[in-house]
Structure 1
């Protein structure tokens, strides 16, 4: 072993703390960079494997009049389509009379296979498999009876529970979709033998394509492929709804014709009775013919309850991963660069000695390169392995609101490669730059200590009234701060970076939660929406509402949906609200500008997507097919969804008719879950209402969206805290080692231990305060950038950081400074003053 190598190993042994600190900083940086980058893909891959194994349908098609064998043959004409017909309906069931998504179970079915959690699948006609939530939320047990409502259209009313299951169609444990019965929210799904549903035809077509099975369900290639298949399927059924309506009507007319023959016979015997029955028959005929119109609903996996929310959640993690870990890693790399630079500068005399002995530049420098490479590689490899294997698994384990997934955690090789390159740039790059700079000088110059920086007047000294009031020690501290500007800036960057990262962690969660709270607190000031039937009796609905103790007031509006076009862009599913009374409406919906008689107001996110400004025009196409062009008077703040507000006058002018009220917005007192359910059922029983939805359910969904990020945020805060502590400790060590002779001198001059410690710590306290203040600003900017990246087409996340986030970030920095102060105090008590003063430096 050469003297150079032995000397390097001796240096590593002598300064183990610094070598370990470099490894730790690199490891932490790589760990969070690789780990968070791997979390999003792992979430997507895990769910993809689960739905792939259970053959989740790629497309589902629902019909109001059901599907005949002709429909199945038509769907199978799409290349590669595997088609299965399913009997499906929404019914009311259970002790709590909740909305249930009821499916007919067919053991030959290969799609949408259940994931049994306990018990077994149905084998007999009197058996039912229930959603596992029936067990956890409602206390049902195997062997008990589950009763459906009398009007459910089943062969029997109660069924024996033989199993509890999860379904790939319902991946979110807390979301089962919405319906127009009960309180508008589906609470459970259930499977009974299909022959138990009194339905002559299936109401759902499940379509699966084996060619798409190898594509990740969240990938763009899968979505594009599904869209193409869906387009082909829609083309096949383009004219089918009219044919199907004719078939259904013909069946009904045949039944009515048989009854008409009997009535004609009765007319001879009892004309009065026949006349009464004729009126009833005619009314039944009209009612049936109205309902017999065929309409189709199409949905892909993304339309299933919780599916898009899951995808958006992983997208948000990916958006965070594109910013947060990179910022984290840059801080780690910057501090590492400083540490390596200081290490090489400390070895000036040794480099000069070896150069004087005749060693070449390469021989001298290569050991420092090996030192830097070994620290960088060890840190990067440890960080990559720990991060890639731990963080995604922690996130998956904590995603408890979703069904248990088959974990898939793959090594993110390209991310690991990027992390390794940056690690070597921070370590090896620093060593190359500094050593090349040092080796330019001659041996004699290198063996002499660097000339100390000359003192200069600092800005504070020029403010005489303030400077003269400072103590001697304070003046020394301030002069030292500005004398060593690079050290000052590095410490501020380290503290500010840690503060900003912790603040950003809290900010992301607070802001996601704030989108719902501000939408349904500041903008929408109502607690429920009641969708009315055509020709609904308002007085009958009002009677039900006034009988409810929680009801306060309501306002009527016309509510419809449309697609908007402008500047070559299009936004679908935009809610159009036209109030009956603008004055009343203002009390329920708070817009930035009052909706006057000429008003058309567009929500902010919609305007951004369409590139619309105040005064611009846009094209509106309603779901009913009507097309109009309107001028935007104002743009209003909005956080969830797309909205266009029209005054009654504008609606009349554009659509050529008066806006017919079809929706009520309700002001309600605080309601319990059972009270909400009771009112919704009462309104449905009135026969005037299609369904009731509550803002409580929307807020609950947004709250789940926010809480789903808690695992990631907790990890961010924890690792940011550790990084901040290591950075502060490392920079303080560098500070002490650089000024060891200075500290020894003041100790020899009679300074007490506490005074020597404060000589250093006073500077740390000042820099910590500055760093925390700068961190507040950087944290807000970083949070705002991440939120902008994480925003979806439907949701804007307003920048919101609670006082608790500021408090935690501040307290952690203060605690870290205090711990470092104590460690430094112990270290300074054992300074070898004579050895330090005798050294060259």
Structure 2
């Protein structure tokens, strides 16, 4: 049996003598696996961490609010739903604090197990005059422990002033940037507060929180959980529906008894003539008005909320989905570049060892024994790179991403290993290393020892295209001509270098493109499409004059447009889009000053069609319809009509159907109800914005005010959550590009060491020898950068299509700093690599290199 020790020693000697190449292979594999496994793990880690955080805090699956409160009979009815754990909560919105903030106030009840608070500092209320505030009140509004907190008189609490004894986080409010909306104050909830239950001043609970034990093993953001909650929600609604009528009847019974008694007295007075007829008539009219008011007050309306309806939770889920969408594209492309370069490196390494393979074959070693040497080398590099990439990627990258989500409350970190992804990464890594080695060794071993021990015949040079352009070719120096001939002489080397540089450029450019495209959504929506700054919802059509009068009292007010707005469901081709705004302007002529109706399929830009409806672009795409098709619109009241699509308008956020008043009347056989004002405002401060909304609510004719600035902030927050992730992509892409460029240049120099030694012996200076290589690299770098621009754009386009949500379009946008950064980094890497190469070429052993294969 042939002794294997020389082969093994040779392998370790090979690693020792070419440490740079071995380390480069390990690093490329490590980076590829790191980004592939790490980014793939980031989305699940975000979801799992948030899901565990809210599950550990016993966040309710469903909560329902009632305008008339809940009785024990209501609680008992809800408990009939299998598995339902029901708790009654005292809750209301109030105005309080130093700047009349809108606050969500909860009654503290130690017997409740759901929606547990996490005390950040201080303690829960122990006495009647103590209050715990949202931690946001401390960080954003600068409240401190021991301060006194005062509510407005209208809050209806048993006392107005409380001592702040603690700050807390709640699983109801995952996102620190939003706390929902309310029908008091300025309409925007700033933070929550918790006071002793007895201080709430409520006769009955106003909220029921419902939790199902069977759902807690499902991930909050999964389809399985959402489907299960939808089924439970339907059952809860069926169970609670009859209770609304019973509650109304119970509330009206004593009032009706009192009113009936008064009615009977009036009738008796009318019979005896004890009261003048005119007075009796006035009293009867007054009783009828009281009856109408009582019925209105006793009307029971339920507001249902699942976890997705809580402030920020759905946005968090969509954010993690965007990272998951990016992870389906970016890391794969990244890994393919890494695998391709590794494959090339291993191939060249084995080809360089032709003479060694021939020697071992001549000494009698079997094919397997010789192949084992190189397969083990490749396996060692592949396994080492894979293990390092998995450990660093799976453990650090999800945690880094989680730490970048600073707009959310602290989450319990869950970073489980994604074994399917890890196995896939390991498979590709071994294919790129062991697979390459096996392929080349098999080809080399098919040749005889004598052939292998002789140097491979150099490639013959052919005339290149530039030579045929005589005026240009004649102007080139000898060195330039040699460089350009060498470029096309070794086409595979040129191709791999261009691919490597193009891949690195594309990856860096894509990182900037993701950020720019998300930022472009709000910029384009609120500068190109929507030209109003506030949306004022009216209680009734008659309230527009009073609301306009209130607006006119503020210096920031410019003008307004009265529109009818209704929510609807739109369907076509077995697809359906919900939460669609049906918008009908009262004045069609001036509407274009508020909403720019543009797009390829809009017949007359800036005007509404006189026949049919305009759909916004995202909805048209989801429904797979275009101009001339028909869609079915179902209004909130249930009226359903089939209408023709007259055009598709440019839009980036939300879904809207635009109609003229005449089209609305002819389609739905009813007049539009003008219940909304689109308001144009001059620049406002936050205080002015808050004051305007507050004054509008106080007018009694306005249900609520929303500002486009707040919607912009939401999109910007979404962008900010990805900025850190994009920075990681750019950083790792830069490192990969540098290692790839260094590795390919190293291979190039190693392959041509005899050629470079020859020209050095012929009297070329060190700088001229380096330029011999640099000139080729510069050309390939520039070509790679240009190709990378196109690849980066296409990659960004694909990723943004995958990352788009049901409500948002991300237009592909890459600003010049992205191109400048990608170009600058690639040129910098080229310069650094050339500097290292220059130092190496200065120390070439010319005699050793020229005699190495004699």
Structure 1 segment 411-422 matched on structure 2, within 5 A: 411-422=417-428
Q: Distance in 2 between matches of 1:705 and 1:379?
A: 34
| 1:186 and 2:189 aligned | yes
Matched residue, 2:659: 646
Q: Distance in 2 between matches of 1:162 and 1:202?
A: 25
- 2:162 aligned residue (159, 163, 166): 159
Matched residue, 2:772: 759
SS of 2:542's equivalent?
coil
Aligned-pair CA distance for 1:542: 1.6
Matched residue, 2:228: 225
Matched residue, 1:54: 57
Say whether the 8 Å CA contact 1:570–1:610 is kept in structure 2: yes
Say whether the 8 Å CA contact 2:612–2:643 is kept in structure 1: no
Structure 1 segment 203-602 matched on structure 2, within 5 A: 203-254=206-257, 256-257=259-260, 282-592=288-598, 593=602, 594-602=607-615
Say whether the 8 Å CA contact 1:133–1:173 is kept in structure 2: yes
TM-score using structure 1 length: 0.97
Aligned-pair CA distance for 1:295: 2.1
Say whether the 8 Å CA contact 1:142–1:161 is kept in structure 2: yes
| 1:771 and 2:784 aligned | yes
SS of 2:158's equivalent?
coil
Aligned-pair CA distance for 1:270: 11
Q: Distance in 1 between matches of 2:200 and 2:191?
A: 17
Say whether the 8 Å CA contact 1:90–1:102 is kept in structure 2: yes
Q: Distance in 2 between matches of 1:262 and 1:43?
A: 69
SS of 1:453's equivalent?
coil
| 1:26 and 2:39 aligned | no
- 2:625 aligned residue (608, 612, 619): 612
Structure 1 segment 100-179 matched on structure 2, within 5 A: 100-179=103-182
Matched residue, 1:678: 691
SS of 2:321's equivalent?
helix
Aligned-pair CA distance for 1:179: 2.3
CA 1:233–1:462 in 2, change beyond 3 Å: closer, same or farther? same
SS of 1:468's equivalent?
helix
SS of 1:117's equivalent?
strand
Q: Distance in 2 between matches of 1:157 and 1:262?
A: 42
| 1:738 and 2:751 aligned | yes
Deviation readout 1:513-535 (Å, 9 max, x if unpaired) = 21122111111111000001124
Say whether the 8 Å CA contact 1:183–1:693 is kept in structure 2: no
Q: Distance in 1 between matches of 2:290 and 2:590?
A: 40
Deviation readout 1:717-738 (Å, 9 max, x if unpaired) = 1110000000000000001011
Aligned-pair CA distance for 1:147: 1.4
Say whether the 8 Å CA contact 1:502–1:721 is kept in structure 2: yes
Q: Distance in 1 between matches of 2:254 and 2:479?
A: 100
Aligned-pair CA distance for 1:161: 1.3
SS of 1:536's equivalent?
helix
Q: Distance in 2 between matches of 1:16 and 1:718?
A: 24
| 1:35 and 2:35 aligned | no
Matched residue, 1:83: 86
SS of 1:557's equivalent?
strand
Name the stretch that deviates more: 81-90 or 218-227: 218-227
TM-score using structure 2 length: 0.96
CA 1:270–1:140 in 2, change beyond 3 Å: closer, same or farther? farther
Aligned-pair CA distance for 1:281: 5.3
SS of 2:195's equivalent?
strand
- 1:99 aligned residue (85, 92, 102): 102
Q: Distance in 1 between matches of 2:83 and 2:685?
A: 49
SS of 1:601's equivalent?
strand
Aligned-pair CA distance for 1:573: 1.0
| 1:709 and 2:722 aligned | yes
Q: Distance in 1 between matches of 2:326 and 2:225?
A: 24
Say whether the 8 Å CA contact 2:564–2:672 is kept in structure 1: yes
Q: Distance in 2 between matches of 1:417 and 1:596?
A: 56
SS of 2:475's equivalent?
coil
Structure 1 segment 776-795 matched on structure 2, within 5 A: 776-795=789-808
SS of 1:237's equivalent?
helix
| 1:635 and 2:648 aligned | yes
Q: Distance in 2 between matches of 1:50 and 1:171?
A: 9
| 1:810 and 2:810 aligned | no
Aligned-pair CA distance for 1:277: 7.2
Deviation readout 1:787-828 (Å, 9 max, x if unpaired) = 111111111111111211111111111110110011011111
Aligned-pair CA distance for 1:202: 1.7
Aligned-pair CA distance for 1:312: 0.8
Q: Distance in 2 between matches of 1:579 and 1:223?
A: 36
Q: Which runs of 5+ in 2 are unaligned?
A: none
Aligned-pair CA distance for 1:275: 7.8
Say whether the 8 Å CA contact 1:536–1:689 is kept in structure 2: no
Aligned-pair CA distance for 1:420: 1.0
Say whether the 8 Å CA contact 1:597–1:648 is kept in structure 2: no
- 1:664 aligned residue (672, 677, 680): 677
SS of 1:633's equivalent?
strand
Aligned-pair CA distance for 1:217: 1.3
SS of 2:844's equivalent?
coil
- 1:66 aligned residue (66, 69, 73): 69
Name the stretch that deviates more: 747-756 or 277-286: 277-286
Q: Distance in 1 between matches of 2:849 and 2:505?
A: 35
| 1:14 and 2:17 aligned | yes
Deviation readout 1:298-336 (Å, 9 max, x if unpaired) = 211111111011111111111111111111111111111
Q: Distance in 1 between matches of 2:206 and 2:834?
A: 72
Q: Distance in 2 between matches of 1:595 and 1:240?
A: 45
Q: Distance in 2 between matches of 1:158 and 1:354?
A: 92
Q: Distance in 2 between matches of 1:481 and 1:804?
A: 31
Q: Distance in 1 between matches of 2:551 and 2:423?
A: 64
Say whether the 8 Å CA contact 2:609–2:646 is kept in structure 1: no
Say whether the 8 Å CA contact 2:187–2:694 is kept in structure 1: no
Q: Distance in 2 between matches of 1:214 and 1:398?
A: 27
Q: Distance in 1 between matches of 2:851 and 2:102?
A: 85
SS of 2:653's equivalent?
coil
| 1:197 and 2:176 aligned | no
- 1:797 aligned residue (805, 810, 835): 810
Q: Distance in 1 between matches of 2:823 and 2:152?
A: 58
Q: Distance in 1 between matches of 2:714 and 2:13?
A: 60
Aligned-pair CA distance for 1:643: 0.8
Name the stretch that deviates more: 825-834 or 597-606: 597-606
SS of 1:632's equivalent?
strand
Q: Distance in 2 between matches of 1:265 and 1:202?
A: 41
Deviation readout 1:529-549 (Å, 9 max, x if unpaired) = 000112433322222111211
Q: Distance in 2 between matches of 1:460 and 1:247?
A: 95
Alignment size in residue pairs: 841
| 1:725 and 2:731 aligned | no
CA 1:463–1:287 in 2, change beyond 3 Å: closer, same or farther? farther
